[in-house]
């Protein structure tokens, strides 16, 4: 039996528990783009019932890149309240973002699809140029340029 994603709908919106991978190489971050969405988003996805956030980020990074990454450490805890741009659903999202150890040689193979079954692709975006892109989480634009130190909690209400 397949494990359930930790996401549920209510009359007031949708709760979502997700993980994101911060994969940085040569001052660029690896992001995902869905052909039906106007924005880039972090590699990662929903945590499943009875799965740790660390197990989830390892599973999701492998599913989306074809590479078995290792976790370096937890970097951000993000409480995010927003209306999704495409579906206009209101979200209350809790996300854990992990800094990943990057292997010297990577042969990325994006084999994942978006929630509506649309094709996803991987993109390296230069960290200093993130302001030029429509990215989620938005805080990557300011936080990643300063370097990642410790574990930081970020709360975003949009």
The beta strands (E) that lie in the chain are given as 7-10, 13-22, 24-25, 28-34, 40-46, 70-83, 90-101, 120-126, 135-136, 152-157
- Looking from the CA of 107 toward its CB, the CA atoms found within 13 Å total 0
pTM of the model: 0.91
CATH topology of domain 7-157: Nucleoside Triphosphate Pyrophosphohydrolase (3.90.79)
Could you report the per-residue pLDDT of 44-101, keeping only the tens digit for each? Answer: 999 999 999 999 999 999 999 999 999 999 999 999 999 988 889 999 999 999 999 9
pLDDT of residue 54: 98
The residue extents of the domains of the chain are 7-157
Weakest-pLDDT range from 19-33, 85-99, 115-129: 115-129
Average pLDDT, the chain: 91
């Amino acid at each position: 039996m397949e494990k359930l994603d930790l996401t549920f709908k209510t009359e007031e919106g949708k709760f979502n528990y997700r993980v994101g991978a911060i994969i940085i190489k040569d001052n660029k971050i690896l992001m995902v783009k869905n052909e039906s969405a106007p924005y880039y988003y972090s590699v990662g996805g929903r945590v499943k019932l009875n799965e740790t956030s660390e197990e989830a980020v390892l599973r999701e990074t492998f599913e989306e890149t074809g590479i078995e990454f290792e976790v370096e450490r937890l970097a951000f805890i993000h409480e995010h309240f927003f209306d999704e741009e495409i579906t206009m659903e209101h979200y209350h999202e809790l996300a854990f973002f992990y800094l990943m150890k990057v292997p010297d040689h990577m042969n990325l193979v994006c084999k994942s699809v978006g929630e509506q079954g649309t094709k996803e692709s991987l993109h390296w975006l230069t960290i200093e140029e993130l302001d030029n892109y429509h990215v989620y989480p938005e805080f990557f634009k300011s936080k990643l340029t300063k370097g990642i130190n410790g574990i930081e909690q970020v709360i975003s209400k949009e």
